[in-house]
Amino acid sequence: MKNLTVSASPHVVQKSKTTRSIMLDVLIALAPALVMAVLYFGYHALLNAVVCMGSCFAFELLYTLILKKDFSRKAVRSSSCWDCSCLVTGIILALNLPRVIIVKSWDLNVYSTMPNVEGVRAVDYVAFSGDTLILCIIASLVAIVLIKMLFGGIGKNFANPAAAARVFLFLAFGLTWANTMGLGSALPASTGATWLSGNKLTNGDNLFFNMFIGNRGAAAAGETCMIALILGYLYLSVRKVIDFRIPLIIVGSAAVFALLFDGLPHKLTGARLVNNMVAHVMSGGLVFGSIFMATDYSTSPNTFWGSVLFGVGIALFTMLIRVFGGYPEGMSFAILIMNATVPLIDKFVYPRPFGYYKKPKEKPLKALDSPLPYNETEKGGIKA
Amino acid sequence: MKTFPHGIHPKGNKERSANVAVAEFPAPEAVSIPLLQHAGKAAVAKVRKGDYVKAGQKIGEAEGAISAAVFSSVSGEVIAIEKRPTASGHCEHVIIKNDGKYEEEKLAPLKNPAPEQIVRRLADCGIVGMGGAGFPTAVKLAPRDKVDAFIINAAECEPYLTCDYRILKEYPREFLMGAQYMAAALGLETFFVGLEDNKADAAEILDKAASDNNICAKMVLCHTKYPQGAEKQLIYAVTKRKVRVGKLPASAGVIVCNVHTALSAFYAIENGEKCYKRIVTVSGGGVKTPANFWVRTGTPVSAVLDACGGIGDAAVKLLIGGPMMGFAQSNGDIAVTKTTSGILLLTADEASAEESGPCINCASCVKACPMSLMPVYIDACILSGDVGGAEKYGAMNCIECGSCAFVCPARRPLVQSMRLAKKKIREKGGKR
């Protein structure tokens, strides 16, 4: 007699969706942003991405092996790193970093010939930055080991690993986005201060167009090009990896808060008010963060209405930091702050079961349209 | 399109057997008839070893308020009464050697029966809900609450199964008249037939049959979505009423019955036939020739499968019922019962055998759950021993439809967690 498998129902599953397929979908959705980052900021953006993804993968693999005290091939094969979520963390982290970061006391960089002109900073002429790569590895260590694995690995981390690692670099290494313009990049990128670190009320030549295609100076590598981000957003929405409403809610409420905190108090009117709003939405990591970081499964609420609260909170904190805070950009802080509220949101916002009722009070039944005899129904017979 | 919130879209796979006409399955040399083919208490054996029984003779008497009589499906000698495995447990079986004469014992047909007569007849003929749960129909048709809507559940949302669809196509008159009798037993003149919109052709046939026979029935096409055929979900789709948590459908003024139940009710009333055979879908990738058979209860599943090409090398799972809620079997040595709607052989490609991974908190299960529960939390709570948490997130309302486990990208065994949670909550004395 042949041995047949006995197991509990259901006996079929949705084959198309696995943890790994979801993570690969996110990687695919991030590909346009990576391509644009390389086009704008040069090869170093790609190098950062490779180093971040590689070290995230290696740290997760090592962590699981060390914890199991088993270094056999079987243990390697059963490590959780193969679900590819560490690669997603790595690429999001890399796209959240500027092209190069220089740590003055290390200075392991190779510079191209730097013109001896006053006002030109070294960072503009870095051809290869060892500092950046070391920081990438440190950030990956923070993201994977400190934030993700120590809390139980995938699905159990309380904070977004990439956002936490970026904030870590920001605070520990004085990471700055200022003038991270790419050397030898294929497309001309504008130089100078970013819109956010300026007085935020200006509207330069073709500001919107340049912001939309990503042609802006100082920025994290992946967050500039709206077209690439929107492509990724559409892909994730179509594949149903993310709820398409959540990024819209974050961006939408961010626009409203920009209006309330920045536009109206400065007595902007008409076109300038709208300009201010749109520029707020398109600058910084708002769009990137709302599509790829605020929709992170383990660090966002599990219900739609919980996610709405979460999203509005992110928009609120981002705008508070941008307008009233000491930092030009607040998306990663806002995400981290709201990450901390997720358990609370999930505790109170959850659906009531189908047919839930509060008081056992008899309500009159809803009247039915009683079925008619056939000869009285419309032609064709079926009334759906 | 009428439907219910949430739900999933599994691949239907109905084309394998949907167009195969129902054929009579030859009775085997011996049948082993389980005395528990329904919800509630097992019937008590009325015959002894060595007795001669006719087809349709009562061999098991209903025991208690919720139970149903069991009838012999062939004529012949009782050769043993013993405990044997069923699809989901063990119970006493009456084994009858088929003498091949098929002498039948029938009741007198009822003409223009009164409601009480109908209910009495359904109990006398041992008719139970033939969709799978097997709730005694006579008990269902005598509700305590006032009922103003009767729905026939023809959604057949389980993948692969086509027995209800074949009834709608081949026995529309018999089915509709049976349903009309059941509606009459509830004091109603009309009833609804809830179908998924992939059975629109059957709805047309039914409409024609209804007008030909002067039957007041309304065909309601619902969205093709699993679990459209779940009782509360179908009631909501058809009447927009929500059955309150922990209550029976009758509390919302609705009674729902399966298609096959209505067909059996017709034969019981018009012909006086007892309920001892049913239409079974034999399908799945491991079945060479998918079929729909009239099978006598007590026929071994393996005999039915042998007629369709046997259990081949490709098959890895044998299921009784549909792939979403059916029971997996290790072999075909169990008997077909009144509630066996399908016998499926799934191949490795169709059946899921992946190992479960850690929950990634994607909330796919929350979006899929037709009862609006939080499977993700119930799973986490019960695995960490937090019974109160599982109760809070509604574990007792779970209908075990399997939607959550179907969509779970980490392949968590969520339905098992639900069952565990229910058991623990009951032990604790909790309610819905």
Q: Does residue B3 lie in a domain region?
A: no
How far apart are the C-alpha atoms of B399 and B382, rounded to whole Å? 17
Least CA distance to B402: which residue of chain A?
A10
Give the pLDDT mean for B44-54: 91
Closest CA to B276 of B45, B58, B52, B48: B58
How is A82-117 classified by DSSP, letter by letter?
Answer: GGSHHHHHHHHHHHTS-S----TTT--EEEPPPP--
Same domain as B297, residue B232 = no
> Do B382 and B410 sit in the same domain of this protein?
yes
- Return the closest-CA partner of residue A228 out of A374, A40, A382: A40
Residue A220: which domain range?
Answer: 19-348
Distance in Å, alpha carbon of A237 to nearest chain B alpha carbon: 14
* Confidence at residue A379, expressed as pLDDT on a 0 to 100 scale: 47
- Of residues B426 and A201, the one with the higher pLDDT is B426
Q: Which residue segment(s) compose the domain that B302 sits in?
A: 15-105+274-347
| A24 lies in some domain | yes
DSSP B252: G
Q: Is A281 contained in some domain?
A: yes
Q: Is the pLDDT of residue B96 over 90?
A: yes
Which of A9-23, A92-106, A118-132 reaches the highest mean pLDDT?
A9-23
pLDDT at A31: 95
Q: What is each CA distance from A218 to A48, A50, A198, A319, in whole angstroms? A: 17, 21, 12, 19
Name the domain count of chain B. 3
Do residues B93 and B121 both lie within one domain?
Answer: no
Tell whether B213 is covered by a domain. Answer: yes
For chain B, the first-to-last Cα distance in angstroms comes to 31
The pLDDT of residue A2? 66
Give the one of A2, A85, A355 whose C-beta lies nearest to B242's C-beta. A355
What residues of A are in contact with residue B204 (Cβ under 8 Å)? 381-382
Q: Is residue A43 part of a domain?
A: yes
**Residue B381 belongs to a domain:** yes
Q: Total structural domains in chain A?
A: 1
Task: Mark yes or no for CB contact A368/B220 under 8 Å.
Answer: no
B245 with A356: Cβ contact below 8 A = yes
Judge if B264 and B280 occupy the same domain. no
* B residues 131-190 closer than 8 Å to A (CB): 148-149, 159, 190
Residue B33 backbone phi and psi in degrees, to 5 = -100, 115
pTM: 0.87
The answer to whether residue A357 sits within a structural domain is: no
**Residue A304: its pLDDT value, please?**
93
Residues B80 and B37 in one domain: yes
Binned at pLDDT 50, 70 and 90, residue A101 comes out as: confident
- Mean pLDDT, chain A, integer: 82
Nearest Cα of chain A lies from the Cα of B409 at a distance, in angstroms, of: 4
In this predicted structure, what is the pLDDT of residue A201? 47
Chain B residues whose beta carbon lies within 8 Å of the beta carbon of residue A372: 216, 218
Kindly report the three-state secondary structure assignment for every residue of B107-130.
Answer: CCCCCCCCHHHHHHHHHHCCCECC
Instruction: List, for residues A36-82, the tens digit of each pLDDT value.
Output: 988 888 888 899 999 999 999 999 999 999 999 999 999 999 899 99
Non-local CB neighbours of A230 within 8 Å, separated by 6+ positions: none
Contact B415 A9 (CB under 8 A): yes
Q: What is the pLDDT of residue A365?
A: 63
| C-beta of residue B234 within 8 angstroms of C-beta of residue B195 | no
Mean pLDDT, residues B279-292: 93
In this predicted structure, the answer to whether residue A344 has a pLDDT above a threshold of 90 is yes
Percent of chain A at pLDDT > 70 equals: 79
DSSP string of B187-238, one letter each residue: T-S-EEEEEEGGGHHHHHHHHHHHHHTT--EEEEEE-S-BTTTSHHHHHHHH
**What is the band of A127 on the pLDDT scale with cuts at 50, 70, 90?**
confident
Contact criterion met (CB < 8 Å) for A370 and B190: yes
Q: Do B326 and A11 touch (CB under 8 A)?
A: yes
- Judged by a CB distance cut-off of 8 A, whether residue B319 touches chain A is yes
Percent of the residues in chain A that have a pLDDT greater than 90, as a whole number: 46
**Quick check: helix, strand or coil at residue B267?**
helix
Contact by Cβ (8 Å): B22, B279:
yes
Which pLDDT tens digit goes with each residue over B318-367?
Answer: 999 999 999 999 988 999 999 999 999 999 888 877 888 899 999 999 99
Mean pLDDT (whole number) for B122-133: 90
pLDDT tops 80 at residue B40:
yes
CB contact (8 A) between residue B207 and residue A374: yes
Within a domain: B306: yes
- The predicted structure's pLDDT at residue A324: 86
Counting DSSP H helices and E strands in chain B, the numbers are 14, 17
Considering only residues A368 and B206, tell me which one the structure prediction assigns the higher pLDDT: B206
CATH number at residue B187: 3.40.50.11540
Verify that B284 and B221 share a domain, yes or no. Answer: no
Least confident interval from A130-134, A200-204, B198-202: A200-204
Q: Percent of chain B, pLDDT > 90?
A: 79
Residue written as token pair 């037993």? B185
Q: Does residue B253 sit in the same domain as residue B282?
A: no
Task: Give the domain-ending residue among B241, B271, B301.
Answer: B271
Q: Best residue in A158, A354, A369 to probe B by mutation, most B CBs within 10 Å?
A: A354
B305 and B245 part of one domain: no
Which is nearest to B4 in space by CA: B171, B140, B155, B165?
B155
Answer yes or no: are the C-beta atoms of A383 and A372 closer than 8 Å.
Answer: no
DSSP for A172-195, please give it: HS----TT-PPTT-SS----S--T
Q: Answer whether residue A204 shows pLDDT above 60.
A: no
User: Do B150 and B72 sit in the same domain of this protein?
Assistant: no
B201: contact with A, CB 8 A cutoff: no
A375: confidence class by pLDDT, cuts 50, 70, 90: very low
pLDDT at residue A366 is higher than 70: no
Between B149, B252, B361, which is nearest A302 by CB? B361
Interface check for A199 against chain B (CB to CB < 8 A): the answer is no
A2, A11, A156 ranked by CB distance to B351: nearest: A11
Same domain, yes or no, for B198 and B267? yes
Q: Tell me whether residue A360 is in a domain.
A: no
Residues B134 and B236 in one domain: yes
- Chain B stretch 334-373, residues whose beta carbon is closer than 8 A to a beta carbon of chain A: 346, 350-354, 357-364, 366, 370-373
Q: Which residues of chain B neighbour A297 with C-beta distances below 8 Å? A: 360-363
pLDDT tens readout for residues B102-121:
888 888 898 888 999 999 99
Across the interface, of A21, A355, A381, the residue whose CB is closest to B243 is A355
Domain boundary among B227, B244, B271: B271
Domain boundary among B347, B378, B402: B347
Give a yes or no: residue B319 inside a domain: yes
Is B10 inside any structural domain?
A: no
Asked whether residue A94 is domain-assigned, the answer is yes
Domain contains B369? yes
**Crossing angle between the packed helical segments B163-170 and B259-266, to the nearest 10 degrees:** 50
Give the CATH number for residue A57.
Answer: 1.10.3430
At A221-269, the pLDDT tens digits run 888 889 999 999 999 999 999 999 999 999 999 999 999 988 888 887 7
Integer Cα distance of A41 and A123 in angstroms:
12
Tokens of B382: 């019960």
Q: Given phi > 0 = left and psi -120 to 50 = alpha, else beta, which region is B309?
A: left
For residue B2, being part of any structural domain is answered with no
Q: Specify whether B227 is located in the same domain as B144.
A: yes
Q: Which chain A residues are closer than 8 Å to B400 by Cβ?
A: 9
A-proximal residues of B, 22-81, CB under 8 Å: none
